Amino acid sequence: MKSLSPEKIQQELFDLDFDLKAETFISYLNNEETAIDIVLRDFFKRRFSKDITTIQESLDKKNTIEVSLSRRSFYNIFPERFFHQTYSGTPYVETMVTDYNGRKIEEENARKFFKPLETEFFLQRVAIESAEDLTFKSLGSPELVGFLLNLWQIDSRIPASTAAKILKTMPFMYKIAGDLPLLQLVLENIIEEKLIIEKDYATIASETKQEPWQLGINMATEGKPVTFLPKYIFIIDKIRRPEKIVDYMPNGKINVLMNFFLEHTLPYEADFEIKFTLADKEREFVMSEDIYSGRLGVSATI
């Protein structure tokens, strides 16, 4: 960043496809130990411009980058009467020009008066942004991960590196919960596998009683009571690590992780099931010492 000119910084910023918040940008520049001067102007362009309008070398201060924001200053908030005298109408052009120049001087003096206060308020928001950034970065530290694992009572079978990914999603759970496409995207990034989600309806398991069976009374040839409650089947499609197939089995690391995540993101009334598939070449029934070969229900059926 130090080797880039303000023009190149501005060009890279304007090439972004989104409107970057000024606090985030300034927080990054502060990490580079760059002197910054904040100017609140161009408020009337805010509806069609980005938060940061220009980045240039300051004309008043050496080795300082001036960042102009399209935000309201105190000059825009307070009534005009606070800063300007009342001028009477006049038909003379010379008088109107003098009045206009006088108002520009009054505006400039008002903006200079409030600038230290506006800068201080802005730097407070930059400090908050920096603190949030440090919080997100620290989520990967072993100490904090260990603390949050105990706080959230995350299963000890889940590896700490994977649990750290879950912890980073906690602040956004209110967005993820109930949103299946977003939930699928997040979960795919956590387990680093491709997921397929199928929707079904939950069934009620029949109770087995210790009494004589009588067809038509307490026994039927076939029965599958279906409810209207949703059931989501999460299929890990063609697992990438077949040599660690135990992790995908019930009570395996991946299975336990998905259970924990889905219990906190799916609606309470929804049921779910976790399955996985192997690549076609791994489904062949081959008797060998490989852990995924010749396994009933996985690569072989009766």
- Decide which of 243 and 197 is more confident: 197
Question: Does 234 score more than 90 pLDDT?
Answer: yes
222 burial class (0-12, 13-18, 19+ CB within 10 angstroms)? exposed
pLDDT of the residue at 245 = 87
Neighbours of 137 (CB within 10 A): 9
On average, the pLDDT of the chain sits at 80
Neighbours of 241 (CB within 10 A): 12
Q: How do the domains of the chain map onto residue ranges? A: 6-136, 181-282
- Decide which of 193 and 282 is more confident: 193
Question: Does 131 score more than 80 pLDDT?
Answer: yes
List C-alpha distances in Å: 137 to 4, 26, 134: 26, 18, 5
Contacts of 119 (CB under 8 A, 6+ apart): 38
pLDDT of the residue at 1 = 46
For residue 151, the one-letter residue type is: L
pLDDT of the residue at 196 = 92
If we measure between CA atoms, which residue out of 134, 135, 171, 137 comes closest to residue 152? 171
pLDDT of the residue at 207 = 58
Per cent of the chain over pLDDT 70 is 79
Radius of gyration (C-alpha) of the chain in whole angstroms: 32
List C-alpha distances in Å: 212 to 48, 204, 219: 78, 22, 10
pLDDT per position as a tens digit, 32-62: 666 788 888 777 776 677 888 888 888 878 7
Query: What sign does the CA torsion over 52, 57, 63, 66 have?
Result: negative
Dihedral Cα 177, 181, 187, 193, nearest 10 deg: 170
- Decide which of 272 and 46 is more confident: 272
Contacts of 73 (CB under 8 A, 6+ apart): 40, 41, 43, 111, 114, 118
pTM attached to this predicted model: 0.49
The Cα 63–Cα 116 span in angstroms is: 19
| C-alpha 18 chain-centroid distance | 15
pLDDT per position as a tens digit, 9-31: 888 888 887 888 888 888 887 66
Structural tokens at position 265: 């993101």
Residue range 237-244: mean pLDDT, rounded:
86
Rounded to 5°, the CA angle 99-102-106 comes to 135
Unique residue bearing structure tokens 């300007």: 84
The Cα 242–Cα 278 span in angstroms is: 7
- 12 neighbors 52 (Cβ within 8 angstroms): no
Q: Please give the DSSP secondary-structure letter assigned to residue 226.
A: E
The Cα 220–Cα 211 span in angstroms is: 15
The Cα 199–Cα 36 span in angstroms is: 54
Query: What sign does the CA torsion over 53, 56, 58, 62 have?
Result: positive
| C-alpha 262 chain-centroid distance | 18
pLDDT per position as a tens digit, 198-211: 988 887 665 555 66
Question: Does 233 score more than 60 pLDDT?
Answer: yes
pLDDT of the residue at 32 = 60
Question: Does 88 score more than 70 pLDDT?
Answer: no
The Cα 24–Cα 256 span in angstroms is: 36
Give the SS3 label for residue 34: coil
